[in-house]
Copies of this chain bind each other. A is one copy, B any other.
Amino acid sequence: MIYFESDYMEGAHPEILRRLMETNLEKHSGYGSDIYCASAKEKIRRAIGSPDADIYFLVGGTQTNQIVIDAMLGACEGIISADTGHIQCHEAGAVESCGHKILPIPHNQGKLPADALRRYLETFFADPNHPHMIYPGMVYISHPTEYGTLYTLDELSALADLCRQYHLPLFLDGARLGYGLMSRGTDVTLRNIAELCDAFYIGGTKVGALCGEAVVFPRGNAPKHFFTLTKQHGALLAKGRLLGIQFDTLFTDDLYFTISRHAIQMADRMRAAFAAKGYEFYISTVTNQIFVVLDAEKLAALEKQVSFSFWEKLADGRTVVRFASSWATTEEDVRALTDLL
């Protein structure tokens, strides 16, 4: 069996485990006040080019989305998202459980189109009944999106401009950010993101860590009492070093980027193999996720030898499935898949 089911099937990059081992019996104070958290934050500030950034380490993606959104929305404000956004579809109502409405806008290949956002905002404020409705209070995007697509710098800038015009903070979910940044042809850099967004997170769980996401408020703009809010949400680790050491390792010698690039190289080869064999792509991607349409026969044949994940059933009876590479995907895995196709 070869595994392409997801990008979180293994433990951590070996270098992370090595450093956890090496530092294991050192005594450190708790709750993120240790030297490794401090060092990791400093390295991230350098990587994003924002010396004043406020940075917090949280454990997982849904938790991070929930806390950041809860912290940044005001009373009677909701969060705008593409209707395919992770917060809207696959987070078990985490945002609503904090009292906030999600305001979905139809996606374009998983992305939130700036023109659709503009129309939404114009229509909202033009409606005389809008004081009886939830105000737009923040914009959520993911990069890469849930469909593995990427914003161009132009698209991201257009969204950021619109957000500034309407005084809406822009929040970017970077659960797979490394894979997005290392994809071929993207013109969006980590510094662009730090300049254009008001908050974003650098995903660790899917990019080499056991767990962990680094939340960044790039202009030192963390909401008041954000530390206490993480405690209130049950997100504050007593042994904060677990996150500090992982991110310190990932941001030493560009490890985060190196392993992300590897995953993309593996995905590119997989894409080439699918294309060569005439497989139909459901959506065109350049990141570590590949969506392929299979008929019943192919599906039955493949699933005996490869693990992948179910995405959706098409009206014509065929099935969309997802193959994901990761930092841990080997050339052998890819070769085995190629041979199989």
Contacts and interface: CB of A to CB of B under 8 A. Distances in A.
Interface of A: 3, 5-6, 8-12, 14, 17, 20-21, 23-31, 59-67, 70-71, 74-78, 89-94, 96-102, 128-129, 131-135, 205-206, 210-211, 223-225, 227-229, 231-239, 241-242, 307, 310, 328
A320 B102 CA distance: 27
Contact of A70 (B9, B75, B227, B237): B75
A60 B99 contact: no
B76 A232 contact: yes
B232 A233 contact: no
B92 A132 contact: yes
Contacts of A71: 75
Contacts of A11: 20, 23-26, 239, 241-242
A30 B14 contact: no
Nearest to A226: B75
Contact of A224 (B60, B75, B100): B75
A235 B235 CA distance: 8
A27 B10 contact: yes
Contacts of A23: 11
A100 B132 CA distance: 18
The 10 A-B pairs with the shortest beta carbon distances in the complex, nearest first, are A63-B234, A11-B24, A92-B231, A92-B232, A93-B134, A76-B225, A96-B101, A76-B228, A93-B101, A8-B238
A102 B74 CA distance: 20
A11 to B, nearest CB: 4
Contact of A133 (B90, B101, B237, B238): B90
Contacts of A3: 27
| Interface hub of A14, A60, A205 (most chain B Cβ within 10 A) | A60
A9 B21 contact: no
Contacts of A234: 59-60, 62-67, 94, 233-235
A221 to B, nearest CB: 14
Name the residue among A90, A98, A236 with the largest chain B CB count within 10 angstroms: A236
A6 B129 CA distance: 13
A228 B27 contact: no
Contacts of A133: 89-90, 92-93, 228
A131 B225 CA distance: 8
Contacts of A242: 11, 210-211
Given A5-B29, A92-B132, A134-B92, A236 B60 contact: yes
15 contacts: A8-B238, A11-B241, A14-B24, A17-B24, A62-B234, A75-B228, A75-B229, A76-B228, A92-B133, A94-B233, A96-B101, A98-B99, A132-B231, A135-B228, A211-B242
